[in-house]
Structure 1
Amino acid sequence: MRLELKRRIAMRSKRFDSTRLTRRAFLGTAANTAIGVWGLSAGLARKAEATRVLTFQTWSDYTPASDRVLKKQTRRFNKKHKGIEVELEFISLNDRPAKVAAAIESGAGPDIVLFWYGEARLYEYSLHTVDDLCNRLSQKYGDWAPAIKSANFMNGHWKAIGWNHIPQGPTYREDILKQAGWEKFPDTWHDLLRYAKDLKKKKLPPVALTLGHAIGDANANAYACLWSFGGKEVEEDGKTIAINSKETEEAVEFMRELYEYMDPSVLAWDDSNNNRAFLAGAISVTTNAVSIYNVAKRDVPELTSKMNHTIPWKGPAGRRSIGITLSFGIPSYSKNLDIAEQYIEYLLDREQFSPWLAVGTGMHAGVLRAYDDDPFWDADPRIRGFKDNAKYIYLPGYPGPPTREAAEIQSKFIIVDMFVKAIQGTPTKKAILWAESEIMKIHKKSA
């Protein structure tokens, strides 16, 4: 009995000791776990602290596939560069100017912003100088397009980096060309006039160049004609008004005559009217980006095999066209100047840039000479005509810089309306004097 009692007491003591040891083990484990958790938290904190976040504010592209590729390439950049996180902020085209202005004026915002046309000149003293980057890119891929240099090179320094431009130019029907008895599409403005006469004579769908208040197409037509004949708003200094010239008279007289053979409704057209008229077969020649062709592939596929595109018409002073240029800007307030340059250089490297161009199906083109012959131009021979477009694009204010005054002249359609006034009966000289007066008002206001 006594032996059994001793045995039970011993077993209880053993169980008690076992429990006590387990508790000690638990406390030890808990302490180690706490240290481990603290160490993990500290490690995560250090990692978060080490990660540098850069924001690129860009537009929501009219070609969604282009944005998808941009996102994919950005993820690849982030994966390749530990401790760096590039974030994309997509905004609407209409919201972009105000958001860029707000960020730069407040000194806080995205590390990279997007400029159109010559907007970088508005913020010259608030932008990081990018001479080394632009020079490296041009050494690797050839010269920058003249319009890009005009937009981004100021007072001896590069203040923004060209990304791409949206090509536009003559869009025409090849089958109508043959019906008119022509083997080759008109190469010069004077050839176009002869062709327009033949189309009207044979009652074929006419030439139709938009001349209403269309910010894209009308300005493109008016400026291209003016510049190709040697006319200009201002001299190279961007200040001396030069619109009243013999060359401007020749351009205006030419457009007045060409209009006689065009669809008369072009004076009221916006940027969509010529697209619809071309797709409906009502006209056979217009100027546009590749968007008419892309819509035709979807909605009127039988038309695509009859369409083609080419470079701008040549005039007495050469071949000129207005350029829709897009550029990267790095505000000086950014704390990630080095990363911003690294990321932009990555996007413009052929390994990234060529695939990005390809998915745009002609909506975007390079602004460095090497990309004039990018393989995507050969994927569809019917957009190949736009591939040399960058050689001939200039910005409002040419041959001077794209100043604030030039932007206002463009937005108020002064050059367009000069042509239209003459077409509607105002004597050529009087129409030019009107334009000169309006241009002088704008320059005097900002003096």
Structure 2
Amino acid sequence: MSRKLSRREFVAAAATSSAALLATPYVRGAHAAGKLSIGFWDHFVPGANATSADIVKEWAEKAKVEVRIDYITSLGNKLLLTGAAEAQAKAGHDILAMATWRVHNYAEQLEPVNDVMEPILRQNGEANGTVKYLGQVNASWMAVPATIGSSILAPCSRIDLMKKYAGIDVRAIYPAGSSPLADSWTMDVFLKAAEACHKGGFPFGIGLGETPDSVVAAGAFFQSFGAQLVDVKGNLTVKTDEVRQALEFYKKLIAFLPPDVPAWDDASNNKWLISGRGALIMNAPSAWAVAKRDAPQIAEQCWTHGFPAGPKGRFAPYLPFFWGVWNFSKNKEAAKSLLAHLSQPSSIEKLVVASGGYDLPAYEKFTNLRVWAEAEPPKGTLYHYPNPHNHQRLSIAAWPAPPKIAQQIFTQATLTKMCLRYSRGEAMENSLAWAEGECEGFMRG
């Protein structure tokens, strides 16, 4: 799955840098350790690519390796198509950035990286469960979690509108610098707040389209009810009380959302917040950052915080990236050495700072960097974005189904389509039967 535009609009349509591959060679006269080619995701934050290039250059100088970096945009599925072409040709970059499901897609063409991950995990702490789910195949690490590009689609609320219309002080529930007091932040409270803000003329902006922002949000809502379409063993679990509860919740929620949310893409929720028309969206801090630049009076009222809790827990929509080493790489030793360097604490912190706090490391020891605590306005607005107190579980839609099935549920937007069918008047059992048929097809495939 390749990311869509959405949060890439952080810098106003990703500026012009993501229009094509940008090559940055670092050539040394003495080829003591050979050559290395890297395909990084082309970051939308000004300066972020330069920072990753500097880190690579620092390593290359010491390792005496000639390095070439290509920054590959996700616009037009360029990164996805690059991976598919290289896997088929068995030629290309030594290291390639891969989003979400691609590690499982290319597992047979990837070099195992347990030898890289073991010391990284000892140093940085455990990786979160979603990264393990997506980055491991048969309990073996097939790619290294990438700090660059990984993000949570967290609720970002307007402080003033939530107070005025819903009577909720999000800063009191999620105080900067302190543990959240989130027991009262439940699905029932969330739904009432959505209704109140809708009546006040500032609806929540939660998409129901077929692109990742809509799908991962739906996944977190379903998981909070314990709703799974396919379980961890690959069994169909569509026709359960939990799935019915999730559908009922969504039917109520949809009534309080903007009428065009079924057509939203990943840019729509950003625009909704920045325009001043919405009280809450689900997004990484890119929308806030654009507001900070283009609509500072709105940015001053934004607060990023945790997901509401459902009957089965609190889940945060999460989209991680990975760095994979092809098994046809011509310099696997150097590739692994560089990935270990990129995963050092000093490198991780530089990458997070360069992204303005957007990028999220996968490791438990990296949820409290200063960049999030010090972000403003208002001061502390990003403190809870990285889940520093581990009060919610990071998740991806369609988990815990086997990844190859889950990917199809995700890519085909089965969750949002099912919610729309039911909300538009289709009988519950018919919506469930449709979803079950879709999943049966994915399982056969």
Q: Same fold (TM over 0.5)?
A: yes
- Give the aligned partner of residue 127 of structure 2: 144
Given that 2:127 and 2:363 are in contact with CA atoms closer than 8 Å, whether structure 1 keeps it comes out as: yes
In structure 1, stretches of 5+ residues that fail to align are 1-45
SS in 2 for 1:233: coil
Q: Could you give the per-residue CA deviations for residues 341-398 of structure 1, whole angstroms, max 9, x where no partner exists?
A: 1111111111111011012113211101111112221121111221118862223441
Task: Mark the CA change 1:242 to 1:120 in structure 2 (over 3 Å): closer, same or farther.
Answer: same
Indicate whether 1:331 and 2:313 are aligned. no
Given that 1:54 and 1:87 are in contact with CA atoms closer than 8 Å, whether structure 2 keeps it comes out as: yes
CA root-mean-square deviation: 1.9
Mapping of 1:5-404 within 5 angstroms? 48=30, 50-82=32-64, 84-93=65-74, 94-164=77-147, 165-180=150-165, 181-184=167-170, 187-201=185-199, 203-213=200-210, 215-237=211-233, 239-380=234-375, 381-388=380-387, 392-403=393-404
Structure in which a larger fraction of residues adopt helix = 1
Task: Mark the CA change 1:50 to 1:273 in structure 2 (over 3 Å): closer, same or farther.
Answer: closer
SS in 2 for 1:426: coil
The CA distance in 1 between the partners of 2:198 and 2:32, in whole Å, is 70
Task: Mark the CA change 1:196 to 1:396 in structure 2 (over 3 Å): closer, same or farther.
Answer: closer
- Give the aligned partner of residue 437 of structure 1: 437
The TM-score with structure 2 as length reference comes to 0.84
- Counterpart amino acid of residue 403 in structure 2: P
Given that 1:396 and 1:402 are in contact with CA atoms closer than 8 Å, whether structure 2 keeps it comes out as: no
How many equivalent pairs are there?
Answer: 395
SS in 2 for 1:64: coil
Percent identity, please: 23
The CA distance in 1 between the partners of 2:144 and 2:209, in whole Å, is 33
Task: Mark the CA change 1:156 to 1:283 in structure 2 (over 3 Å): closer, same or farther.
Answer: closer
* 1:274 Cα deviation after fit: 2.4
- Counterpart amino acid of residue 441 in structure 2: K
* 1:61 Cα deviation after fit: 1.0
Given that 2:159 and 2:169 are in contact with CA atoms closer than 8 Å, whether structure 1 keeps it comes out as: no
The TM-score with structure 1 as length reference comes to 0.84
* 1:163 Cα deviation after fit: 1.1
In structure 2, stretches of 5+ residues that fail to align are 1-27, 174-183
The CA distance in 2 between the partners of 1:105 and 1:206, in whole Å, is 46
Task: Mark the CA change 1:250 to 1:159 in structure 2 (over 3 Å): closer, same or farther.
Answer: same
The CA distance in 1 between the partners of 2:398 and 2:169, in whole Å, is 36
- Counterpart amino acid of residue 354 in structure 2: V
SS in 1 for 2:303: strand
